[in-house]
Amino acid sequence: MTIRLCTEEDYDQILEVSLAFHEESIYSNYVFDEGKLAELFMLSLEEPNKYLCLVAEKEDNIVGLLFAIATELPLYTTVTTMEVAWYVLPEFRKTKLAIHLLKSYEYWSANIVKADLCQMGSSVKPDLTNLYKRHRYSCTEKIFLKENN
């Protein structure tokens, strides 16, 4: 299994994995916007110091991904990196792929962007709280969602 930066040829598989991510996410009732995925994908190819798309690959198949962005926090001049999507297909979750994606993201954040990391932790399947604690992340806030429809 390999963790690597995405290439233009990866888009169709990234779309498939992103749709699976969407189905399991807490935002699955929102409309998935393939145009926004395509934009984020292209930005990761064009501006690798600001946008990241990592893929986990097994036998030429993408089985996981991690998208992240580097941005200034609102009201501050501090740059931080934020994970946008971090997902491994269910049949590969008992492997170390998720950790390898996380470690590659941490490397990008520390050595390329030179910024702190912000993990959203908005996943409920699986709950990643213990994983974050084992890797020395501290909980700084929680996300609460109220649907207004």
Q: Which residue has the tokens 């994606």?
A: 101
Pairing of strands 51-58, 61-72: antiparallel
Enumerate residues 6+ apart whose C-beta is below 8 A from 117: 80, 81, 82, 83, 105, 106, 109, 137
Q: Tell me if 81 is assigned to some domain.
A: yes
Which of the four pLDDT bands, split at 50, 70 and 90, describes residue 7? Answer: very high
Residue 9 confidence (pLDDT)? 98
Supply the DSSP symbol for 74: T
Asked if residue 114 has pLDDT above 80, the reply is: yes
- Structure confidence at residue 61 (pLDDT): 98
Dist. CA 119–CA 140, nearest whole Å: 10
What's the rounded Cα separation, in Å, for the pair 93 and 95? 5
pLDDT tens per residue across span 34-86: 999 999 999 999 999 999 999 999 999 999 999 999 998 888 888 889 889 99
Cβ pair 98, 88 in contact under 8 A:
yes
Q: 141 lies in a domain?
A: no
Residue 42 main-chain phi, psi, to 5 deg: -65, -40
Is 109 within a domain?
A: yes
- pLDDT > 70? residue 143: no
Query: CB neighbours of 25 closer than 8 A, spacing ≥ 6?
Result: 122, 123
* Range in 33-47, 92-106, 134-148 with the lowest mean pLDDT: 134-148
**CATH code (residue 49):** 3.40.630.30
Asked whether residue 59 is assigned to any structural domain, the reply reads yes
How far lies 25's CA from each of 21, 22, 79, 116, in Å?
Answer: 6, 5, 26, 24
* Domain annotation covers residue 20: yes
More confident residue, 83 or 117: 83
Residue 114 located in a structural domain? yes
Q: Is residue 24 part of a domain?
A: yes
For residue 12, being part of any structural domain is answered with yes
Residue 24, pLDDT > 70, answer yes
Give the residue-averaged pLDDT of 7-18. Answer: 98
* Rounded Cα–Cα distance for residues 118 and 111 (Å): 15
Residue 148 clears pLDDT 70, i.e. is over it:
no
Domain around 37? 2-134
- Total number of domains in the chain: 1
